[in-house]
């Protein structure tokens, strides 16, 4: 559930650069609850490490996730000690998003 970035003090942000606890290629799906960086910001790095599974979220979250990820490459692509202006290109996982409809019915 979720695939976000650690945010806040440098000690926490360094966790975003540690090794994965498993092979990203072995992950079948990621469920994203909503489009905040601490819930979806690690997706591009997961893709770079070999994730090819599905991303499951709502239709509206999927739209917002694309915007959030395109708007935030400097927060995702550099270690905490790197200056902000050296960010690399964004990698947005495309074509694997499965949306779910939510119901407001009682």
Segment 10-61, tens digit of pLDDT: 998 888 888 888 999 999 999 999 999 989 999 999 999 999 999 999 999 9
Sheet holding 54-58, edge to edge: 29-31, 54-58, 97-100
pLDDT > 90? residue 62? yes
The model carries a pTM of 0.67
Q: Which residues contact 54 (CB under 8 A, 6 or more apart)?
A: 28, 29, 30, 96, 97, 98
**Span 75-93, mean pLDDT?**
45
- Predicted pLDDT at 99: 54
Q: Which of 2-6, 63-67, 98-102 has the lowest mean pLDDT?
A: 98-102
Which tops the pLDDT comparison, 95 or 49?
Answer: 49
Structure confidence at residue 86 (pLDDT): 32
User: Per-residue confidence at 96, pLDDT binned at 50, 70, 90?
Assistant: low
Other beta carbons within 10 angstroms of residue 41's beta carbon come to 23
Q: What is the mean pLDDT of the chain?
A: 78
């Amino acid at each position: 559930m979720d695939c976000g970035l650690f945010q806040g003090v440098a000690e926490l942000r360094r966790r975003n650069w540690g090794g994965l606890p498993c092979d990203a290629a072995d992950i079948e799906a990621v469920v994203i609850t909503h489009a905040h960086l601490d819930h979806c910001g690690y997706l591009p790095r997961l893709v770079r490490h070999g994730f090819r599974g599905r991303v499951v979220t709502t239709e509206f979250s999927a739209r917002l996730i694309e915007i959030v990820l395109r708007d935030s490459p400097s927060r995702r692509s550099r270690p905490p000690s790197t200056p902000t202006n050296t960010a690399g290109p964004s990698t947005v996982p495309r074509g694997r998003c499965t949306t779910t409809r939510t119901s407001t019915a009682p």
